Amino acid sequence: MPASNFRDTEFLARLRQIVEEQLSNEQFGVSELADKIGMSRSNLLRKVSKASGLSVSQFIRNIRLEHAAEMLKTETYTVSEISYKVGFGSVSYFIKCFREHFGYPPGSMPESSTTEEIEEESDPEPVKKKKLPVLPVTLFFLALIIVAVIFVFQRNTKNKLPPKSIAVLPFINDSNDSTNIYIINGIMESTLNKLQAVEDLRVISRTSVEKYRMQPKTIPEIAKELNVGYVVEGSGQKIGDRILLNIQLIEATSDSYIWSRQYEREISDIFALQSEIAKNITDEIEVILTPEEQERMEKAPTENVAAYDEFLKGLDLLRILQPENLWAAIGHFHKAFELDENFARAYAGTAMAFYFLEANKTLREYTDSINYYADQALFHDSKLPQSLIAKALFYMAHSEYELAVPYFEKALDYNPNYDLVLYFMVDLYAKYIPDTEKYLEYALRGLQVDPAAFDSITNGVNYLHISNALVQAGFKEQALKYVNKSMEYWSGNLYSEYLKAYIIFAENGDLNQLRKSLTAALEKDTNRLDIAQELAKICYFQRDYQAAYDYYQHYLTIKKAAGLDIYPQEDIKIAYTCLQLGKKEEAEKFLEAFKNYTDNDDSIYKNLNLCMYYAATGDPKKAYSYLELFSHEEQFYYWTIPFIQLDPALDDVRKERGYRRTFSRLETNFNNFHERLKATLKEMYLI
């Protein structure tokens, strides 16, 4: 058995042991297993999927069901007793899962014939036993193996079907009173949030469905654009103290109504109504709903209807990220938790509003407020996704990005379709904690739940993120497809324009064409320091040091005027450019800055940066020793490969004995990473 297969088997066996130790604990799920094994939830999902072809929840459920089947054979316990012994809090849910897994209900276990029964049914006449030929026996057992493999493959294929998908369109306010729209929007939002918490369901985000509020498109057209199998339509009105709703569930491709229902409830029953709608939808499309998910679906955010009314008013304002709206939202949230001091979502909403008030500002005014209200939200409900997001935003505001990650990941545990979390995770792994694999995973997950954002600029940014992630992981063809989509949605986005130029360069290796494209982009906006430094870098690779120096000076002027501290990795190229032009004193300044940056660098690129430093300062042997250390890394950006070959500072390093072997190892590691990532993303239905 190959070592990797042995490790996978050993890993799965350890997971099985942990699950079996918690067999009767119905609260033991994916998050608890991740904690026990000492892994993040996302890493556990990837590793279990790779090793078993199952999701983690399926893996846990299958172990429970296998033990249940063994217990049923003993006839010691009833079906109801067994369901609780193997960790199912609901007998009906246990029966449903058992039937789906084994093909028959637990009360109808097929009986195996005993040896005695076989002998009684056989011919009483003695039959002379014949020795079977070796070849037929071998073929017989081979056939059994093939049948077993086919069975396992078919079962895994069934288990690996992509999740069902649904879009909840904006509910229409049937009331003549337009001021009631926030209530109808709130019911729609609540229905959406409850469905988003189901792992077996892909739910389109609010931002993507909002664009269809006023668009006269057919259900099949909407479903095609959003790539969903089901669509929910709704309308309603508030009449006095009563709410009247009409909800329809539609099978998208055929545009046929599966289910339609009218609800009329007292306003005091609004929480039960929201849970009932979500549960009715999941029942109709036969979504697998775990007991934990059902519990979260039935949980009311507050028992105080007046507090909830204030919260809905604040929530409606929070979506429009203008200062006056955010301050008004904070006012409503304050009224909400004054009416109910335990209202976690109102505290979380306040923290989020304060975060957005100071987003993109240099001066941090509200960090203490974000922290206070986030802690209040967590204190009152530590499993509420919005509470966890609020705390993560506090760490984001403090630039403590690593500390934000576990809160975002935990929020996704409780709400796997939460588009806001996915947006922040993409941003984190793109800008602050470079990680190609996670960047790409979260970007593609974001596309699945947010395929058609309300405004074209946001959509252009989403596709831009995905294109950038794809090319960094070596998916050039797919990257070109998505950058073109980005430019379709936002033609004026210069980042997309020069990213496309780089993707084309990745295909043809033409530096002259890349330089022309970047020059054209900079001419459209001469204040873009990012494009200026990219153009300087290409001139540097072409060994046109005077042009590189001029563009770097332009970049540094803009950077200083804006008071920005970005792109510290460029300092080594600026230093080397200065050295080639005889500007030694200027070069020393940038060499010192780069060395300080590298000494404090905890990323996987530390050894490569040290290689660059010693190469630029004239010590190729020491530089090569650090390149050799870096060559054992795997998850680095695609651009590392061509840029190592192009960088003039590494000319002498490339002459070192062993360089070819070292560079070949880098190429092999990246290619292996690319292929593994491709397989993982396919298993997760992300590509």
Does 180 have pLDDT greater than 80?
Answer: no
pLDDT at 435: 79
pLDDT at 109: 60
Per-residue pLDDT tens over the stretch 243-300: 999 999 999 888 888 888 899 999 889 889 999 999 999 888 888 788 888 888 889 9
Contact assessment for residue 349 and residue 332, using Cβ atoms and an 8 Å cutoff: no
Per-residue pLDDT tens over the stretch 542-587: 999 999 999 999 999 999 998 888 899 999 999 999 999 999 999 9
pTM: 0.60
Does 158 have pLDDT greater than 70?
Answer: no
Across 337-350, average pLDDT: 96
pLDDT tier, 346 (very low <50, low <70, confident <90, very high otherwise): very high
- Cα 648 from Cα 639, distance rounded (Å): 16
Does 424 have pLDDT greater than 60?
Answer: yes
How crowded is the C-beta side of 214, counted as CA atoms within 13 Å?
Answer: 1
User: Among the CATH numbers 3.40.50.2300, 3.40.50.720, 3.40.50.10070, 1.25.40.10, which is that of 164-298?
Assistant: 3.40.50.10070
pLDDT at 155: 37
- Cα 628 from Cα 220, distance rounded (Å): 56
The architecture (CATH level 2) of 305-415 comes to Alpha Horseshoe (1.25)
Per-residue pLDDT tens over the stretch 106-116: 866 655 433 33
- Cα 36 from Cα 54, distance rounded (Å): 19
Per-residue pLDDT tens over the stretch 455-506: 677 778 878 888 988 998 999 999 999 999 999 988 889 999 999 999 999 9
The class (CATH top level) of 3-112 is mainly alpha
Contact assessment for residue 184 and residue 248, using Cβ atoms and an 8 Å cutoff: no
How crowded is the C-beta side of 667, counted as CA atoms within 13 Å?
Answer: 10
Does 444 have pLDDT greater than 90?
Answer: no
**Highest mean predicted confidence (pLDDT) among 35-39, 79-83, 220-224:** 220-224
Who wins on pLDDT, 156 or 422? Answer: 422
Q: What's the mean pLDDT when you consider all of the chain? A: 85
Encode burial over 522-549: b for 16+ CB neighbours within 10 A, e otherwise: beeeeebbbbbbbbbbbbbbbebbebbb
Who wins on pLDDT, 91 or 678? Answer: 678
Across 365-372, average pLDDT: 93
Cα–Cα distances in angstroms (integers) from residue 90 to residues 97, 204, 446, 473, in the given order: 11, 29, 33, 44
Domain extent listing, the chain? 3-112, 164-298, 305-415
> And the tokens for 437?
């694999």
Instruction: Provide the 3-class DSSP secondary structure of residue 29.
Output: coil
pLDDT at 533: 96
Encode burial over 126-163: b for 16+ CB neighbours within 10 A, e otherwise: eeeeeeeeeeeeeeeeeeeeeeeeeeeeeeeeebeeeb
pLDDT at 183: 87
pLDDT at 211: 83
pLDDT tier, 124 (very low <50, low <70, confident <90, very high otherwise): very low
Per-residue pLDDT tens over the stretch 32-78: 888 888 887 667 877 887 788 787 878 898 899 999 888 888 878 88
pLDDT at 386: 95
pLDDT at 41: 67
DSSP string, 343-387: -HHHHHHHHHHHHHHSTT-SS--SHHHHHHHHHHHHHH-TT-HHH
pLDDT at 446: 85
